[in-house]
Amino acid sequence: MSLQVAEGGRTARTVAESLGNAHLVVGIPAYNEESAIGSTVLGVQRWADEVVVVDDGSTDRTPAILAQADVTVLRHESNRGKGAAVRTLFAHTRRTDCDALVVLDADGQHDPTDIPTLAEPVVEGDADMVIGSRYLADDARDETPAYRRVGQLVLDYCTSRVTGSDLTDTQSGYRAFSPESLERLSITTDGMGVESEMIDSATNEGLTITERAIDARYENLEGQTHNPVKHGLAVVLFLVRLLKRRRPIPSFSSRNR
């Protein structure tokens, strides 16, 4: 595997060495990812002290493949959604003595060599949540299809308006978390709005959010990819519910009888 050049011209191996004896947990929510879960797990193992896969009720060969892998598997009996899978992952990691949790998608989109780069600000105490941004750097290698990029810009705008954040990639599923953030982040949604909800919760809790540039690929993905239109609509509907949740309930004085 080639080593990515991280920020400042350092390789992933150099960044990993700078983390010293930090205990890293890598978490992977997975649903029907039989084509990619094996290679994804193999790719992240060299960077993790523990790999935890939340099998969200898969009905394909994902459970059988995971049974052969040296990973911790947490299984939902039925498909509950990404938000529910992340909650399960957080609950498990809170019971471990980790210095950082790194979460990435199971479909092969994310490059495992970015794990040390995302974990570094958390381990060094500079951030509570680090978002891997596909658009932070002006990189000609960006493979995001134009129609997806337009949709992501809309979701970035909506999320920023609702949460008050200023981020370049609010929907990235590649993130690192501090132990404190695992305790304080509130995740209520079961669905695909979880990325936006985590930003909103972190902002409300006064947690520090930063971004690091990552690579992502879309062509020749082995795993399952979500319909971008359905995904986008789900996120927008969740943001609308989030706004409604924030509206103050009007008080009415009791009427004289």
pLDDT digits (tens, 9 = 90+) for 71-90: 999 999 999 999 999 999 99
pLDDT digits (tens, 9 = 90+) for 46-80: 999 999 999 999 999 999 999 999 999 999 999 99
Phi, psi of 71 (to 5 degrees): -140, 160
Higher pLDDT, 250 or 30: 30
SS3 24: strand
pLDDT digits (tens, 9 = 90+) for 93-107: 999 999 999 999 999
Assign 3-class secondary structure to the chain.
CCCCECHHHCEHHHHHHHCCCCCEEEEEEECCCCCCHHHHHHHHHCCCCEEEEEEECCCCCHHHHHHCCCCEEEEECCCCCHHHHHHHHHHHHHCCCCCEEEECCCCCCECHHHHHHHHHHHHCCCCCEEEEECCCCCCCCCCCCHHHHHHHHHHHHHHHHHHCCCCCCCCCCCEEECHHHHHHCCCCCCCCCHHHHHHHHHHHCCCCEEEEECCECCCCCCCCCCCHHHHHHHHHHHHHHHHHHHCCCCCCCCCCC
Higher pLDDT, 4 or 58: 58
Given a cut of 70, whether residue 177 has pLDDT beyond it is: yes
pLDDT band at 148 (very low <50, low <70, confident <90, very high): low
What tokens does 26 get?
């890598």
Given a cut of 80, whether residue 213 has pLDDT beyond it is: yes
pLDDT band at 137 (very low <50, low <70, confident <90, very high): confident
Given a cut of 60, whether residue 139 has pLDDT beyond it is: no
Q: What is the mean pLDDT of the chain?
A: 86
SS3 135: coil
pLDDT band at 44 (very low <50, low <70, confident <90, very high): very high
Domains of the chain in sequence order: 10-246 (3.90.550.10)
Task: Please tell me the pTM assigned to this model.
Answer: 0.83
